[in-house]
């Protein structure tokens, strides 16, 4: 059986946007897999230290790390299972959406970085605090408190493009959610799962409706 190593906080919380992307891809493909909760400080133990981040997918002797590489592998290995792209155009759309969605991560980090720290397993907190404070040049609490409202406004402004699109399409990929949807959903799921203040109801109407549909379809249970 496929093993999926996923970043996990306390109480088995799965929150990484990249892990959510792959998890939903596997569920959509209807491929059996075992999710393995992994702390930041445990990643070095996967595949003899070959990878610096998760998700990591093990399928027999094969190990893959990048989320898009994993999804392409699944699409090729299981051609008779529901497609993640439906066409070359769908794959190209997913690549574009990946670039766009990744540009949301900075806003989310500034909105919730102290909250993310609070969600972590105890053994991960020192590593996360030290590495993120070095990167941002400030204390986690100040990064979040000083930037939250500006970052929130920036995020919602960027999502207004998606809201407009969703007035004419049920999902990003059309009539059914595909990997392009899972990419954006994973990014927003990261925020919803970790933030102590931002809720689904803060999304605009059509983004909220879209998010809840996918959440109900794929996230009934971890």
Give the CA angle between residues 87, 93, 98 to the nearest 5°. Answer: 130
**Is 88 inside any structural domain?**
no
Residue 145 has pLDDT above 60, yes or no: yes
Give the count of domains, the chain. Answer: 2
pTM of the model: 0.96
Give yes or no: residues 46 and 79 share one domain: yes
Range of the domain at 186: 95-218
Residue 222 has pLDDT above 60, yes or no: no
What is the Cα–Cα distance from 58 to 5, expressed in whole angstroms?
Answer: 8
What is the Cα–Cα distance from 126 to 145, expressed in whole angstroms?
Answer: 20
- Specify the pLDDT at position 120: 98
With cut-offs at 50, 70 and 90, classify the pLDDT of residue 202. very high
Give yes or no: residues 122 and 187 share one domain: yes
Give yes or no: residues 42 and 123 share one domain: no
Give yes or no: residues 116 and 184 share one domain: yes
Residue-wise pLDDT tens digits, 45-64: 999 899 999 999 999 999 99
Q: Which of 83, 109, 141 is the last residue of a domain?
A: 83
**Is 110 inside any structural domain?**
yes
First-to-last CA distance in the chain? 17
CATH number of the domain that residue 165 is part of = 1.20.1050.10
DSSP code string of 63-105: EE-SHHHHHHHHHHH-TTSPPSSSSHHHHHHHHHHHHHHHTTH
Residue 199 has pLDDT above 80, yes or no: yes
**Is 89 inside any structural domain?**
no
- Specify the pLDDT at position 220: 77
Give yes or no: residues 119 and 25 share one domain: no
């Amino acid at each position: 059986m496929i093993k999926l190593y996923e970043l996990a906080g306390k109480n088995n919380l799965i929150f990484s946007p990249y892990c959510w992307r792959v998890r939903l891809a596997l569920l959509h493909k209807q491929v059996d897999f075992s999710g393995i909760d992994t702390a930041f400080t445990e990643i070095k133990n996967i595949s003899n230290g070959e990878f610096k981040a998760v998700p990591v997918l093990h399928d027999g002797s094969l190990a893959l790390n990048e989320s898009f590489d994993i999804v392409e592998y699944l699409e090729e290995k299981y051609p008779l299972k529901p497609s993640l792209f439906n066409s070359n155009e769908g794959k190209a759309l997913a690549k574009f959406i990946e670039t766009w969605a990744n540009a949301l991560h900075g806003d989310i980090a500034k909105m919730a970085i102290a909250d993310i720290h609070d969600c972590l397993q105890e053994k991960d907190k020192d590593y996360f605090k030290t590495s993120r404070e070095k990167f941002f040049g400030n204390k986690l609490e100040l990064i979040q408190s000083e930037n939250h409202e500006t970052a929130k406004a920036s995020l919602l402004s960027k999502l207004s493009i998606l809201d407009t699109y969703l007035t004419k399409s049920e999902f990003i990929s059309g009539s059914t959610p595909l990997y392009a949807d899972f990419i954006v959903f994973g990014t927003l799921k990261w925020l919803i799962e970790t933030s102590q203040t931002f809720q689904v109801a803060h999304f605009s109407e059509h983004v909220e409706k879209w998010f809840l549909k996918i959440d109900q379809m794929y996230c009934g249970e971890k």
